[in-house]
Chains A and B, each alone.
Chain A
Amino acid sequence: MSSSTQAHVVHRDDYGSRMGMWLFLFTELLLFGGLFIIYAVYRFVHQQEFHMAAQELNTTIGMVNTIILLTSSMTAAMSITAMQKGNTRFSMALIIVTILFAFAFMVNKYFEWSAKIHHGIFPGGKELLAKPEGEILYFGLYYVMTGLHALHVIVGVTIFLFILAFIRTGTIHQHAYVKLENAALYWHLVDLIWIFLFPLFYLIH
């Protein structure tokens, strides 16, 4: 399957491709970085309120989602190893497992947000507006930052679905897998952002 593509010379630059992906990831870093700065300043100004508001979050759901994302990051990384070893089917299986973990993450997020919204804690919600300013800011940041992160999870799943299609059509194979590498890089970034979101929102007591 993979030997047929070796017959002709292919002009490509995997090194440059990965570098381009990293440069894109830096723009993501600054996008979330800006939000982290806003968080830092408001937390600095409203320390007590941030602590009070954080009590409302469910640490268990946060921790389960952390474990889910860390594990999905591992399966994404392993799918590259499987591809390098020529084990295409195993590589695809690992990508599917990664996607399933992403769904599990989103299901948890759905229940988490639903519970908050049910209690009237959402931007513009009556119960939230009755709280002190610092708590309103905390939940505003909570929805924007975890929401933007969740959007990245959905984009990550979409990218992995394309990768699966590329593997099926033979565009990605044992000797040309930089697309898979870049997709995994994106997924690891999603994981990295969560590594910081988790302690900053769920673990302040």
Chain B
Amino acid sequence: MSDHHNHEQAHVVEYGKYIFVWISLLAFTGITVSVAGINFGNWTIVIALLIASVKSWYVLNYFMHLKYEDVVFKVFIFVALLTLGIFIALTFIDYSFVR
């Protein structure tokens, strides 16, 4: 095999693991739907986004294989999310003064 670099991180994720992740994702969907019926006031949106973030974490790590990728990929994603976070924060800082 001449292209050793290409295959050094080929990681085979077993079907069983995907099924486990899928069941977890369905469970979190069930939780977010049933919790939406309860009135937590301003916390409702926080709880909904928190559950969505947990689901995203599962999709990113297992379905998108981030868990088995180089650390560089994780740094990239951190920077991308941080950038988006800064945009959101700056928008809201701006908006709270406009009102």
Which residues of A does B touch, CB under 8 Å? 9-15, 18-19, 22-23, 26, 29-30, 33-34, 36-37, 40-41, 44-45, 59, 63, 66-67, 70-71, 73-74, 76-78, 80-81, 84-85, 175, 181, 184-185, 188, 191-192, 195-196, 198-200, 203-205
Are B12 and A85 neighbours in the complex by a CB distance under 8 Å?
A: yes
Shortest Cβ distance from B95 into A: residue:
A41
A interface secondary structure, majority: helix
Per-residue CB contact flags for chain B residues 55-68 toward chain A (1 = under 8 Å, else 0) read 11001101111000
- A residues in contact with B45, CB < 8 Å: 204
- B residues in contact with A203, CB < 8 Å: 32-33, 36, 48
For chain B residues 33-77, which have a beta carbon within 8 Å of chain A? 33, 36-37, 39, 44-45, 48-49, 51-52, 55-56, 59-60, 62-65, 69-70, 72-73, 76-77
Return the contact of A192 from the options B39, B56, B99 (Cβ within 8 A).
B56
Are B91 and A40 neighbours in the complex by a CB distance under 8 Å?
A: yes
Instruction: Knowing A30-B83, A81-B14 are in contact, say whether A71-B52 is a contact too (CB < 8 A).
Output: no
Which residues of B does A touch, CB under 8 Å? 2-3, 5-7, 9-10, 12-15, 18-19, 21-22, 25-26, 29, 32-33, 36-37, 39, 44-45, 48-49, 51-52, 55-56, 59-60, 62-65, 69-70, 72-73, 76-77, 80-81, 83-84, 87-88, 91-92, 95, 99
Instruction: Knowing A203-B33, A203-B36 are in contact, say whether A14-B6 is a contact too (CB < 8 A).
Output: yes
- A residues in contact with B10, CB < 8 Å: 84
Are B84 and A33 neighbours in the complex by a CB distance under 8 Å?
A: yes
Are A66 and B80 neighbours in the complex by a CB distance under 8 Å?
A: no
Are B87 and A37 neighbours in the complex by a CB distance under 8 Å?
A: yes
Closest chain-B Cβ to A162's Cβ sits at a distance in Å of 20
Are B95 and A44 neighbours in the complex by a CB distance under 8 Å?
A: yes
Closest chain-A Cβ to B72's Cβ sits at a distance in Å of 7
- B residues in contact with A196, CB < 8 Å: 49, 52, 56
Closest chain-A Cβ to B47's Cβ sits at a distance in Å of 9
Shortest Cβ distance from A30 into B: residue:
B84
Are A29 and B84 neighbours in the complex by a CB distance under 8 Å?
A: yes
- B residues in contact with A44, CB < 8 Å: 92, 95
Are A195 and B59 neighbours in the complex by a CB distance under 8 Å?
A: yes
- A125 and B19 alpha carbons, distance in the complex (Å): 44
- A22 and B9 alpha carbons, distance in the complex (Å): 17
- B residues in contact with A30, CB < 8 Å: 80, 83-84
- A residues in contact with B60, CB < 8 Å: 188, 192
- A37 and B84 alpha carbons, distance in the complex (Å): 9
Return the contact of A74 from the options B6, B21, B29 (Cβ within 8 A).
B21
